[in-house]
Structure 1
């Protein structure tokens, strides 16, 4: 089984790509992308790849480098200083960027590679964040500052990230799909009513 897996992974990774470190969490499909429209072509590429994965009905983790600096630093550590988005990782191994994902999708190899990550349902919209995976900080309302009554002055918020955002608690708990279905992190969440 391990040799078959190695052959499949070797088939999907081109030999001329530079060696990259693997993700510490190697059980999921992880997509690094950006939701920023500052560079329209990069944004369009990211939307296309997300659309491909959602069309294939794949459960995947979305790591938006625009919403959190830690994701940008993580992808730079994995691929080096020059990083183009989007980048896809499967089982901790780097699959490739936009062009590679398009080639694999058009040849049908992407569907075969990700077949075991298919969720049996269509993804629903998260009631907490609308599938953005982040919410505005409830302490500082995204301003990174708040008024402290105890010292009677304005203090810096250290709960949220540099953009004034927090991870969505609904997505993290897996409550997006309440009927024994997989959420976008691949976890099965059961509700008892």
Structure 2
């Protein structure tokens, strides 16, 4: 027969609640407050992530606007000469490939580029160190309108984004033919020592020529001009 209904005694261990393991507990108001607190922390974390993303997006937009304004300023300036410092040596492959890439990009715009090969004249290296204020330099380096633009990576990014065209607008066009004096090499053989780096005088005998560089060359006056 079914047992009679009644209030369980305090010592009755046969009730369903007594059969439950100690690890299982019914939820209380304290547990609900804890859950709500966890949800508040999760929501705050999401809001912080959204805030960081928003700040990054605003910074990116500001940077793009600044670049556009700078490009417009450069386009309006009168002097848009392009000067490229590079090397033609193949000793370091990556440097040679970077220089070749930048030369190819700039020549593709068909504008005049003052290419300054540090291999041909070490004075270009001294000049570049003075402009950037650094002793350790990587090549290539590009200046437009007397302003430093960047190296290989910066030129590549500007070219891919289309911003490099804004920098170059207004630059003088490339010559239709090579320079008649140097044939486009930008250097001439020293007329004083004929490239031997030695001069002879009746009084002092042989001495080092002071008119040419370490290679016995002088810059072509029709091609090379100072950057400032």
The TM-score normalised by the length of structure 2 is: 0.59
Structure 1 runs (4+) deviating above 4 angstroms are 9-12
Which has the larger strand fraction?
1
1:60 aligns with 2:113: yes
What residue in structure 2 maps to residue 166 of structure 1?
218
Cα displacement (A) at 1:134 = 0.8
Answering whether residue 205 of structure 2 is matched by residue 153 of structure 1, we say yes
Cα deviation for residue 130 of structure 1 reads: 2.4
Which moved further from structure 2: 40-49 or 100-109? 40-49
Q: Distance in 1 between matches of 2:150 and 2:136?
A: 14
Bigger helix fraction:
2
Question: Where do 5+ consecutive residues of structure 1 fail to align?
Answer: 13-25, 173-183, 186-193
CA–CA separation in structure 2 for the residues paired with 1:81 and 1:123: 37
How far residue 42 of structure 1 moved from its aligned partner, in angstroms, is 1.6
Q: TM-score by structure 1 length? A: 0.69
Equivalent pairs, count: 156
- Correspondence list, 1:110-121, <5 A: 110-119=164-173
Larger radius of gyration: 2
| Matching of residue 87 in structure 1 with residue 149 in structure 2 | no
Structure 2 gap ranges (5+): 1-65
By relative contact order (CA 8 Å, sep 6+), the higher-ranking structure is: 1
Q: 1:38 is matched with which residue?
A: 91
Aligned equivalents of 2:217 and 2:127: distance in 1?
18
CA-CA distance at 1:159 after TM superposition: 0.9
- 2:205 corresponds to 1:143: no
Contact 1:56 1:118 in 2 (8 A): no
